[in-house]
């Protein structure tokens, strides 16, 4: 048998996986997702900690016009972790999410930007650390079958997506997405 053939899993290997206790199998996927949420939040926090007050207040361009400040965006990422995890829990339970629209999100973001215009770096970073830690803990509790469950999701145009997709596309990606936009705005 050549080396490549030895590395390809056999049906025997898959049968052994089926007999492992569920907690052994489920921990790795949920743990990996949770670790990546924590990594994104820590990366955003580390970058934000090094910003000057002027950089913290700098508007980040949105569609060619000045938008929310760097500080408001960091606070925004922190504040929506609970919502993002709740959406994933809903999908994991097999229920459709039909009442959340991108227009609603834009309105919530505008209200948040107004309400948090003067947010301090210390307050935003504390919330980012706490909420990302709690989001990661919640994600660690997902079982594989919950991560695999799909239901219609209005933010994906009603497509039936899995709970894992919702976690990856929202709670996990969010900090990375905004960090990239902040870096671009600051020329870093």
For 94-145, what is each residue's pLDDT tens digit?
999 999 999 999 999 999 999 999 999 999 999 999 999 999 999 999 999 9
- Weakly modelled stretches of the chain, pLDDT under 70: 1-27, 63-66
pTM of the predicted structure, to 2 decimals: 0.82
CA distances from 125 to 35, 75, 99, 101 (A): 18, 7, 30, 28
Ordered structural domains, the chain, with CATH: 25-186 (1.20.120.450)
- Two structure tokens written together for 36: 């990546």
Calculated CA dihedral for residues 120, 122, 123, 127, nearest 10 degrees: 140
């Amino acid at each position: 048998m050549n080396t490549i053939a030895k590395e390809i899993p056999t049906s025997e290997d898959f049968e052994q996986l089926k007999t492992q206790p569920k907690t052994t199998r489920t921990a790795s996927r949920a743990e990996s997702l949770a670790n990546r949420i924590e990594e994104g939040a820590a990366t955003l926090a580390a970058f934000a900690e090094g910003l000057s007050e002027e950089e913290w207040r700098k508007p980040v361009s949105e569609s060619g016009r000045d938008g929310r400040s760097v500080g408001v965006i960091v606070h925004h990422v922190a504040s929506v972790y609970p919502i993002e995890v709740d959406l994933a829990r809903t999908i994991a339970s097999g229920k459709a999410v039909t009442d959340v629209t991108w227009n609603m999100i834009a309105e919530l973001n505008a209200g948040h930007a107004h309400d948090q215009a003067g947010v301090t770096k210390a307050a935003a970073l504390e919330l980012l650390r706490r909420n990302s830690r709690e989001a990661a803990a919640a994600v660690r509790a997902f079982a594989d079958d919950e991560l695999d469950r799909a239901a219609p999701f209005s933010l994906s145009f009603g497509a039936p997506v899995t709970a894992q997709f919702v976690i990856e596309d929202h709670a996990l990606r969010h900090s990375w997405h905004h960090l990239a936009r902040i870096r671009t705005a600051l020329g870093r």
